[in-house]
Amino acid sequence: MSDHAFSLDDRAAIYRVIAERRDMRHFIEGEVAPELLARLLAAAHQAPSVGLMQPWRFLRITDRVLRSRIQQLVEDERVRTAEALGERSDDFMKLKVEGIGQCAEVLVVALSDDRERHIFGRRTLPEMDMASVSCAIQNLWLTARAEGLGMGWVSLFDPQALAELLAMPEGAWPLAVLCLGPVAEFYPVPMLVQEGWAIEQPLQDMLFENQWGVAG
């Protein structure tokens, strides 16, 4: 074992939070204390970023009218997604896909504008900025879970419409509507499994050695 390893208890806490994090859609009344929200955002901000570009931007939505408009954008896309799903449309419409109306806090996370000048690590993979923002959101998710707060990442929206609603400049791009707040309980398994929408596939099927399709 490495000299740099955390204690057994500390490692267990980290594995536990990864295992117990859930994509939440059900929230209860309550608030997120400002200093707690600040801690979560500080953890997000400590994410890795390609070439240290720190492409994440967080918009806290405190205006109730704006929150309701965001919810409407999500509802519009929910219907369009259902149409696109064909035979699974009815099952999809039964799922709860967002908790925007109930959660304590709504955060929109977006890619910054002015990203073209960041070439390091992105010349052939420009989507690395999206990867960095996703790592920041995962940090937020894990710390929220550890603090006992639920979080859900909603990606059912027209990004252009959401960008316009929040006066984003050209080049900025919303990736997430995050619902954050107290929950009655965390789903024991992912909600989409609980609801019979999807089945988790085992890691073994996703692990190869040296060549695609060759089991390790």
Residues 48 to 77 in contact with a copy of itself, rule: CB under 8 A:
48, 50-52, 54, 56-63, 66, 77
| CA-wise closest residue to 100 among 71, 74, 64 | 71
Contact set for a copy of itself, span 165-194 (CB under 8 A):
166-169, 172, 175, 182-183, 185-186, 190, 192-193
Least distance (Å) between residue 74 CB and a copy of itself: 11
Structure tokens given for 139:
């940090």
Assess 27 for contact with a copy of itself (CB under 8 A).
Answer: no
Least distance (Å) between residue 106 CB and a copy of itself: 10
Structure tokens given for 59:
């918009």
Q: Give me the torsion for CA of 14, 18, 23, 26, rounded to 10°.
A: -50
User: In whole angstroms, what is the distance from residue 135 CA to residue 128 CA?
Assistant: 11
Among 25, 43, 103, 105, binds a copy of itself (CB under 8 A): 43
The residue count for the chain: 216
Structure tokens given for 165:
């609603």
Partners of 177 in the β-ladder: 108, 154
Contact set for a copy of itself, span 85-104 (CB under 8 A):
85, 92
Assess 135 for contact with a copy of itself (CB under 8 A).
Answer: yes
Among 143, 178, 180, 187, binds a copy of itself (CB under 8 A): 143
